[in-house]
A = this chain, B = another copy of it.
Amino acid sequence: MDKENKLSMIVFSGDMDKILASFVIATGAVPSGMEVTMFFTFWGLQALKKRKKTGKGFFGKMLGFMLKDINKLNPSKMSFCGAGRWMFKKMMKSKNVPLPDELRKTALELGVKIVPCQMSMDVMEIRQEDLIEGVQPPVGVASFLEEASKSKITLFI
């Protein structure tokens, strides 16, 4: 099986800055002809959430309450109870860098495949209808690895 002009990413982190980096990489790869697949797992799923409340059982609900959506994520450093998020967005805006949710929209429009991890959705009690439009149906890790095997670049973020 030969390598194809593909880029695969496992987006594990839920930090605003890392989510941003993953979408910058994705949208930067498409213009040079790469096919991009992003596999969102664990905290990364927060970047795909549509509404705040998820979960059925006690723990699922508790977790659903703590999970954020893409606009409320904090950076991995200097979060300062949300002030860091505000500051970064300000700085990005002033340099005409798009915000995470704008980059996510662009990624979907460019045909980047956004795939949630089945196991993480099960454990965190998140359902397909809790996620934004345009997201692929969830797959397991083996399916993702098959795609990654054909990719020139694979990143764990």
Please report A residues at the B interface, Cβ cutoff 8 Å. Answer: 3, 5, 7, 10, 12, 14, 17-18, 21, 24-25, 28-29, 31-32, 34, 41-43, 57, 59-60, 62-63, 66, 76-78, 87-88, 90-92, 94-95, 97, 119, 122-124, 140-142, 145-146, 148-149, 151-157
Contacts and interface: CB of A to CB of B under 8 A. Distances in A.
**Which 4 residue pairs are nearest across A and B when measured between Cβ atoms?**
A28-B141, A155-B156, A149-B152, A28-B142
9 contacts: A14-B77, A29-B145, A32-B145, A32-B146, A34-B149, A60-B91, A91-B123, A151-B153, A156-B156
Contacts of A25: 10, 141, 145
Given A7-B145, A77-B43, A92 B155 contact: no
A3 B1 CA distance: 10
Contact of A87 (B59, B87, B90, B142): B59
How many copies of the shown chain assemble into the complex?
Answer: 3
Contact of A91 (B59, B78, B94, B142): B59
Which applies to chain A's interface (DSSP): helix, strand, loop or mixed? helix
Given A18-B12, A62-B87, A141-B24, A95 B77 contact: no
A15 to B, nearest CB: 9
Contact of A153 (B7, B59, B142, B149): B149
A123 B149 contact: no
